[in-house]
Structure 1
Amino acid sequence: MTTSATGRTRLDWGTLGLLTFPPLSWAGNAIVGHYAAGAIPPITLNFARWALAGLLLAPYVWRGVREHAAALRQHAGVIAAMGMLSVSVYNAMQYLALTTSSPINVTLIGASAPIFLLIIGALFFRERVRGWHVAGALLCLAGVGVVMLRGDPARLAQLDFVAGDLFMLAGTITWSAYTWLLRKKRPDLPLAVLLFAQIVAGVAACVPFVAWELLSGSVPIHWNGKALGILVYVATIPSLLAYFAWDRAIARAGAQLPVFFFTLTPVFAALMSSALLGDWPRWYHAAGLGAIVAGIWIANRR
């Protein structure tokens, strides 16, 4: 990333790739999560995803974990909260959402996370809110509302929401709370060590819910080539690789610009849904995306 004589930043191809890869991966995660419905229970899929990701990461971070053992013990409470909010709750909510909602809807609702960041920051962290912040938040929430109502205001009077949309809305709020915790309380640890510690905490928090899901027998597990392929994909591409790419992108491009690339996730999800699932976008998807992007742009303008 370079700066021109006029003071404007110009993206190099490396930074552009780092910014684009995570939303592309997360869109793929939504498609695969929808495809997994009926083959692997959603909470079990989330547990297996992060357990495998932790096992793959362990050989590379074990020395760092031992070197930072004292800091890990000191910040155990914060790390446990981070792991529960991100690995356990948010990702489980997303897979639960995909059992009844479409990948396009789920990623559009998830794209509103920057606005919930603004709201949570104002309510709980005393962040200053300006007029354009409020305008952007309202516009973004209107976009989410259009998607959740499927463009039909009559659904609001009937409270006829798809359960998956509500799960994803709750998950997006949870992710926003995690992001603030990461920003305000992040332990001074290397990225890989912190990620591994969060995975361990999140996987441990998943255990009772996985046990309940398996004992209830609502969705039997079919371990075959399809299920194993899904598991390997979600444990590597949208988990480990996308996480590291996003961290490097923020380090190179700053905190503001990646927010706009985050909104590419529903665009990629729409293209993939059309090509792979035959799920063509509707007019309310375009209207919702436009409102969300405009709201984020207004809220983040200087």
Structure 2
Amino acid sequence: MSLTTARRPTTDLPALAPRPAPVRGAGLGLLLALLATVVWSGSFVASRALHDTVPPVQHAFWRWIVALVAVAPFAARAAWRRRALIRRHLGFLALASLLGVTVYNTLVNQAGLTTSAASMGMIMAASPVLMAGYERLGGTRLGARRVTGMLIACAGVLLLVGRGALPTRLGAGDLWMFAAALSFASYSALLKRRPAELGGAVLLFTTFLIGALMLAPVFAVSLAVQGGFEPTADAVGPLLYVGVASSAVAFFAWNKAIALIGAARAGVVYYLQPVCVALLSYALLGEGLGVLGAACMALILGGVALASARSR
């Protein structure tokens, strides 16, 4: 094989080195983080809509099967060609799959049994604080403006959860969501250690596959104990959304955003998720907003704008 042939571009997406974003890439990174945040907001509404019909583990398992089918045409062949590289980094891929695929989404679905979609989105706003904490422990300076904006946005989220006061009592669903937030933040922080040789599509396909395999035994137990679900349009539609949009599209956008701007800065955009979820749950599920909700959303938006502003 000639050197030219060996370096021929593949259909896989380009590898991304975990470096701070150049100025020209910061805007794209923020837009990709926003895209992922908006799309994921719909997944909380879908989880809530399915809480009476699809058991949480089965919901998670079929989500990743759909995602695998969606990503396979773009990544399966490239993943096979890079199988030696995948074996070399199997430990990283297994941990990323466990945190970002197997555990995170199962916890979200479990929370959806007893918690409103709006509350799920609000509690997930704890993730940016955890992401920033991980980056600070890694030696990254966050800057006074970003920290101030994060604190303002976080205050808005806490007031929204506590309906105007700091929350003092949490239900079971709320605790499941805090566990999901920790899992997602850990996944996002782990992406900083992503091997540069792993392209974006290969990373998605491999983590989706490993995550689905990890879920398979629990899925079998759920089928035996709880039975299956009827594949009606009301059940299949949300599953297709979370499989294609919330998994294939949003995870690629999020991973790319972190590669461009880092987890802490992408996490600032994630504060917008409570706003998106609240609006979607109001429009699709009839869950109310109220004057307090609108005021807290304004506080969150202001904090995000401050934290995301480019230093001059």
**TM-score (norm: length of structure 2):** 0.77
Corresponding residue for residue 194 of structure 1: 203
Corresponding residue for residue 229 of structure 1: 237
How do 1:255-294 and structure 2 match up within 5 A? 255=262, 258-286=266-294, 288-290=296-298, 292-293=300-301
Q: For 1:254 and 1:181, how far apart are their aligned partners in 2? A: 14
| Pair 1:169 & 2:182 matched | no
Q: For 1:10 and 1:76, how far apart are their aligned partners in 2? A: 29
Q: For 1:215 and 1:144, how far apart are their aligned partners in 2? A: 39
Q: For 1:91 and 1:204, how far apart are their aligned partners in 2? A: 14
Is the Cα contact below 8 Å between 2:272 and 2:301 reproduced in 1?
no
Is the Cα contact below 8 Å between 1:104 and 1:285 reproduced in 2?
no
Is the Cα contact below 8 Å between 2:29 and 2:261 reproduced in 1?
no
Is the Cα contact below 8 Å between 2:30 and 2:261 reproduced in 1?
no
Is the Cα contact below 8 Å between 1:148 and 1:162 reproduced in 2?
no
Q: Which amino acid aligns with 2:284?
A: L
Out of 36, 55, 62, the residue aligned to residue 69 of structure 2 is: 55
Corresponding residue for residue 24 of structure 1: 38
- CA shift, 1:112, in A, is 3.2
Is the Cα contact below 8 Å between 1:148 and 1:161 reproduced in 2?
no
Q: Which amino acid aligns with 1:149?
A: G
| Pair 1:93 & 2:107 matched | yes
How do 1:56-135 and structure 2 match up within 5 A? 56-123=70-137, 125-128=138-141
Q: For 1:45 and 1:130, how far apart are their aligned partners in 2? A: 40
Out of 235, 243, 252, the residue aligned to residue 251 of structure 2 is: 243
Corresponding residue for residue 47 of structure 2: 33
- CA shift, 1:108, in A, is 1.9
Give the secondary-structure state (helix, strand or coil) at the position aligned to 1:177: helix
Q: Which amino acid aligns with 2:128?
A: P
Corresponding residue for residue 190 of structure 2: 181
Is the Cα contact below 8 Å between 1:39 and 1:220 reproduced in 2?
no
Is the Cα contact below 8 Å between 2:59 and 2:239 reproduced in 1?
yes
Q: For 1:291 and 1:193, how far apart are their aligned partners in 2? A: 39
Q: For 2:184 and 2:256, how far apart are their aligned partners in 1? A: 19
Q: For 2:74 and 2:50, how far apart are their aligned partners in 1? A: 29
Q: For 1:184 and 1:11, how far apart are their aligned partners in 2? A: 20
| Pair 1:146 & 2:159 matched | yes
- CA shift, 1:224, in A, is 1.6
Structure 1 vs Structure 2: percent identity of aligned residues? Answer: 30
1:211-264 residue CA offsets vs partner (Å, 9 max, x unmatched): 3433332x862222221222212111111122334455667x745775454333
Q: For 1:20 and 1:296, how far apart are their aligned partners in 2? A: 11
Task: Identify unmatched segments of 5+ residues in structure 2.
Answer: 1-22
| Pair 1:211 & 2:220 matched | yes
Aligned-CA RMSD value: 3.4
Change (3 A) 1:288 1:100: farther
Change (3 A) 1:21 1:119: closer
Task: Identify unmatched segments of 5+ residues in structure 1.
Answer: 1-7
**TM-score (norm: length of structure 1):** 0.79
Is the Cα contact below 8 Å between 1:34 and 1:98 reproduced in 2?
yes
Is the Cα contact below 8 Å between 2:68 and 2:209 reproduced in 1?
yes
Change (3 A) 1:144 1:166: farther
For structure 1, which segment, 286-295 or 207-216, has the greater mean C-alpha deviation from structure 2 after superposition? 286-295
Q: Which amino acid aligns with 2:273?
A: T
